[in-house]
Amino acid sequence: MVRIERREGKGWFFIKVDKGNIPEWKRGQYFIIRYGENYKGIPSFPFQIGDEATFVIHSEEKIEEITNIEGPCGKPLNLSGYTRILFVCNEKGIPAFINIKQKGKEHIDLFMLGSTELGEELGVNYRLIRSLEEVKEEAHKSNYDLIISAGDNEISKGILDLNIPVEHVACVDTPIRDGAGLCLICRVYVKGKMKLNCVDGRWFIAGDIDWDKLKVSKEEKVGCLRR
Amino acid sequence: MPKKIRYFDRNKEPFLSPEERVKTFKEYALGFSVSMAIDEANRCLFCKDAEKRCIKGCPIHVDIPGFIKKITEGDLVGAYKKIIETDIFPSICGRVCPQERQCEGSCILYYDTVRDRKNKGLPVSIGALEKFVGDFIRISGIEIEEIPDPPTGKRVAIIGAGPAGLGCAYDLAMKGHKVYVYEALPKIGGVMTYGIPSARLSKEIIDYEYERFRKLGVEFIFGCVVGRSISLREIINEYDAVFIASGYGRGRLGLKGDDLEGVYSAIEVLMRVNLFGEKVNLGKKTVIIGGGFTAIDAAITALRLGVETHVVYRRTRETSSARQEEWDHIKEEGAFIHWLTQPIEILGEEGKVKGIKCIKMTLGEKDESGRPRPVPVPNSEHIIDCDSVIFAIGQDPNPVSYEDVPEIKRDKWGGIMVNERYETTLRGVFAGGDVISGGDTVVRALAQGREAAKFIHEYLMESK
């Protein structure tokens, strides 16, 4: 059973599925939520609310029916050895944060940039920050042993540019089509080698990524073809 | 009275005009009418030694005179049944096989394979006849009963719903085994769905074939990326046998400048358009690198997206692996084909593709493939301005499903090594199709899947 809840005016859709109806995921894995006759897909990190797996996706189009939920995809995120983690994201990264938080016991603080509406709706505790400089200050004060960034790639790049002496893992945002490593649309250059965000990601050491080569991160205009 | 040999009056399958077909993703080859099919079937000489000729030329060894005879008798159900004894997908193979190099290339009217000499005529249109039979059954809605053997209680997992996986699934299901097919994409077909454009292979056919499998009781698990969604080891532990048919579907790049915006793998372009119905932004002018089926398919797609389409290939038309008639088709539709042209660098401006630097080639001594080796012509570098570049230079294996199982030995390219029984180095795990042989045709993958099914069946019945 799949339920779709639309948040009017915001473009957010909450997709809720009885947990028994989709495969169990590991920490940091995502699914591709497909809708429409052309199986348009949006990658989304699952998290649990009650007995339901919940996916939050953003779409300008109205989503009336989910045709397929694919996954779990991508490699799990292994956080063993870390105890104090700072998670930095904008609204788009909230599902990833909850996904990570629910599957472990580490202490994870959340810093949010921009709108907090989704965070509030999902009941997460966060600190609203106005600039990434605050991340640098807090990292110095609070002895974090890992920073995780998610949401828009700009956030990850911005944190990297601050040269904070703390390990930094980024959730990379690229278009993803098949989730199986076929089409290369999601290619990411990591230490000079091509990796695929769909199967090798979505978590990479931020400093290893050639962010300037993530040129495919802009979604192209999508239109249905006459068949 | 001896049958008059009709060497030359081969029926030509009707096509949409180039002007019409370039505007649509609908199929451009319209198929034989009943009267054309019967007339063409009557050209067949029904050679008594056909197993040394057309049947041998067919990778899956369809009884070609057998099914053509049925057409001449007006028994199209009989013709269909005859074909599916060996080729379960008549409508597909009739469309996408390179028949001129297989069955039709071995038709006695055109080439005497026994005496190894060219004959004077044109071959029987075997591909178009096969397509006609498959389409007739599908469109007319005639139900062909395919009754599996009683259940054996054995469970088999197949990784990948492409031609090899489906071929294997069909035969194992018919033998009474319970078959589960794990597929990463939302539909069956593999390359037939995401790779071959609808203009060459209508997706309605794939949907029809899917129903056939469902009726046989084959279970499909879509959206499951083996190696990520579930590990191969879990699958191995859960099933009596496993067949890996994950294909050779990973796109390939490999040229200076391939990280620029506007560079695509052909698989990306084909998948986004064919499977997801997207309009990929190729700009006003695209250059496709390659000379095989994928390059042709990328060109068919780019032309229908309204893009000025250039194909650069380092060898000649005669030595390309694509079908000769398909070069003609894309040329008629407006593609510019640059033979003996080797790309050497993709040029960019502000991170975006603005052209491709190429060098002219000439043919030298034969290489290990037996084809003349292309050699650069000094001082022939030139630039083709373009907004995008599509790599159609072959594919790589996709090791995601089996990379975590080191007991499965891999070849130097990353594909899976098997013995003559399609067994991998891990007992109970078999593999076939492109993952063992590199990129090959749909029909060869299908043939391997069916052959592997025989050995898997033997294995299952021995391990009672």
A–B interface: beta-carbon pairs under 8 A: 123
Say whether pLDDT at A37 is over 90: no
Q: What is the least distance, in Å, from the CA of A148 to any CA of chain B?
A: 22
Say whether pLDDT at A42 is over 90: yes
Given CB atoms, is A81 within the 8 Å cutoff of chain B? no
**For position A215, what pLDDT does the model report?**
55
Say whether pLDDT at A213 is over 70: yes
**Who among A182, A224, A227 is closest to B250 (CB)?**
A182
What is the Cα–Cα distance from A71 to A21, expressed in whole angstroms? 12
Helices marked H in B176-323:
191-194, 203-215, 232-238, 266-270, 293-304
What is the Cα–Cα distance from B89 to B167, expressed in whole angstroms? 9
What is the Cα–Cα distance from B309 to B303, expressed in whole angstroms? 6
**For position B127, what pLDDT does the model report?**
96
Higher pLDDT residue, B378 or A9? B378
A187 → chain B, closest CA residue? B259
**For position A225, what pLDDT does the model report?**
34
**For position A217, what pLDDT does the model report?**
42
Q: CB of B265 within 8 A of CB of B390? A: yes
Higher pLDDT residue, A1 or A3? A3
Given CB atoms, is A70 within the 8 Å cutoff of chain B? yes
Residues of chain B with pLDDT under 70: 1, 464
CATH for A2-73 is: 2.40.30
| Chain position carrying tokens 């390939």 | B252
**For position A220, what pLDDT does the model report?**
35
CATH for A84-215 is: 3.40.50
Side-chain-side CA neighbours of residue B403 (13 Å): 14
SS3 label, residue B341:
strand
**Model confidence at A222, in pLDDT bands (50, 70, 90)?**
very low
Say whether pLDDT at A113 is over 70: yes
**For position B164, what pLDDT does the model report?**
97
Domain residue limits, chain A = 2-73, 84-215
**For position B221, what pLDDT does the model report?**
96
In 10 A of CB A220, how many CB atoms?
13
**Who among A32, A183, A226 is closest to B251 (CB)?**
A183
What is the Cα–Cα distance from A1 to A20, expressed in whole angstroms? 10
**Model confidence at A221, in pLDDT bands (50, 70, 90)?**
very low
A61-72 average pLDDT score: 91
Q: What domains can be seen in chain B, in order of their start residue? A: 18-140 (1.10.1060.10), 155-249+396-462 (3.50.50.60), 263-391 (3.50.50.60)
**What percent of chain A shows pLDDT beyond 90?**
72
Beta-ladder partners of B263: B389
**For position B265, what pLDDT does the model report?**
94
Rounded to two decimals, the ipTM of the complex is: 0.88
User: Chain B: which residues have CB within 8 Å of chain A?
Assistant: 24-26, 184-187, 194, 198, 222-225, 227-230, 249-251, 253, 259-261, 264-265, 267-268, 271-273, 275-281, 304, 351-352, 398, 400
**For position A6, what pLDDT does the model report?**
86
Say whether pLDDT at A36 is over 70: yes
